[in-house]
Chains A and B, each alone.
Chain A
Amino acid sequence: MSTLETLSPLENYAVRLGDDALVLGHRLSEWTSNAPFLEEELALANTALDFIGRARMFYTYAGQLREDGTSEDDYAYQRDCRQYTNLLIYELPRGDFAFTMARQFMLDVFNLDFLKALSESKDEALAAIAAKAIKESTYHLRRSSEWIMRLGQGTEESLERLQHAVNELWGFTPELFAMDELESNLLHEGIAVDRVAVHDGWQSQVSTLLRKAGVTIPDTSWQVEGGRQGIHTEHLGHLLSDMQFVQRAYPGLQW
């Protein structure tokens, strides 16, 4: 394996999508043994595994493009914070249950549309990964949108927590729709998804359900970006130190 410093555009794109999936999968896995009750814990763990599985497929494909034996584990465990290119919304701490579900809902709506577009990519491998993931995301969205209604129409406290979560998350959502040069070029080649084209549908679907649940849509007076450039929140480093500890302490360890 080489140093993973220079990535070809297509490899880079696959790694980005893998990073998004892995980081969210890890955040969801943090509910294991901490969830409110057993049934929800298993449901969250299942969702976590869906995302980690998705990350594995993207990383494996990226490694194949490299043709130097780079494996999924190399991407997951051998890169530092600045080399991770996930969008910031994926790495935010899991927060309370309302925060986890509000983020999940926003990302499920986004991912479903994104994956549908990716499943029509000219790149057959990416299209195949997307086609498989669509089924998972369809179920994720079913669950998260039900939770939004439950929390919004539950108690005063659950609505308050949901509103708080939406306020916290809102400024991180514009990054989902930002295109940089790399993705614009790949879009031109028919490979990447046009994030801008997904925005309006997302905005209306998310706002409609949140309003129905009793949430006030925040004014976007602030927004944060930087994930694709490796400029992360202070939270990602802690996540990685947890996730990568064993491979860092005992390189190449297998069990």
Chain B
Amino acid sequence: MSEDNMHLYEVFIRSKRGLDHKHVGSLHAEDSEQALEYARDVYTRRNEGVSIWVVKSSDISASQEDDNESFYDPMDDKPYRHATHYVLPDSVNNM
């Protein structure tokens, strides 16, 4: 059997109603329908989920390590973006 036609998929599982889907791993499949079934067979064997998403890995755009300086460092000196930066006036009691 040829594996040439197989694509890499990322698997997201929601473990309970009300919670978010979480990334649990990846797998190979020929198309998204098959990926969904393999996700069921590989990642929910111990009753881990109530909902599955699969996404072709190539469809995910990811930030790169090299971008870190320009992406995240500029936030270091902007404490006013945190609520804790602000001192509450005494007249505000419960917030």
Contacts and interface: CB of A to CB of B under 8 A. Distances in A.
State yes or no: do A and B come from one complex.
yes
A39 B27 contact: yes
Contacts, number: 35
Contacts of B1: 36-37, 97
A94 to B, nearest CB: 14
A46 B45 contact: yes
Question: Which label, helix, strand, loop or mixed, suits the secondary structure of the B interface?
Answer: mixed
B42 A42 contact: yes
A143 interface: yes
Given A37-B3, A37-B28, A43 B38 contact: yes
Interface size class of A (residues with CB under 8 A): 10 to 19
B30 A143 contact: no
B38 A39 contact: yes
B20 interface: no
Interface in B1-55: 1-3, 6, 27-30, 33-34, 37-38, 40-42, 45
A39 B29 contact: yes
A31 to B, nearest CB: 12
A248 interface: no
A100 to B, nearest CB: 12
Contact of A150 (B3, B28, B30, B41): B30
Interface of A: 36-40, 42-43, 46, 97, 139, 142-143, 146, 150, 155
Contacts of A37: 1, 3, 6, 28
B37 A142 contact: yes
Which secondary structure characterizes the binding site on chain A?
helix
Contact of B37 (A38, A97, A143): A143
Given A38-B42, A139-B40, 5 more contacts: A39-B29, A39-B38, A46-B41, A142-B37, A150-B30
A39 B30 contact: no
Contacts of A43: 37-38, 41-42
Contacts of A38: 27-28, 42
Interface of B: 1-3, 6, 27-30, 33-34, 37-38, 40-42, 45
Contact of B33 (A36, A46, A139, A146): A146
Nearest to B43: A42
A37 B28 CA distance: 9
Nearest to B30: A150
B79 to A, nearest CB: 48
A37 B29 CA distance: 10
B75 to A, nearest CB: 40
26 contacts: A36-B1, A37-B1, A37-B6, A37-B28, A38-B28, A38-B42, A39-B27, A39-B38, A39-B41, A39-B42, A40-B38, A42-B38, A42-B41, A42-B42, A42-B45, A43-B37, A43-B38, A43-B41, A43-B42, A46-B41, A46-B45, A97-B1, A139-B40, A146-B33, A146-B37, A155-B2
A20 B40 CA distance: 26
Nearest to A147: B34
A201 to B, nearest CB: 25
Nearest to B34: A146
Contacts of B3: 36-37
Contacts of A143: 37
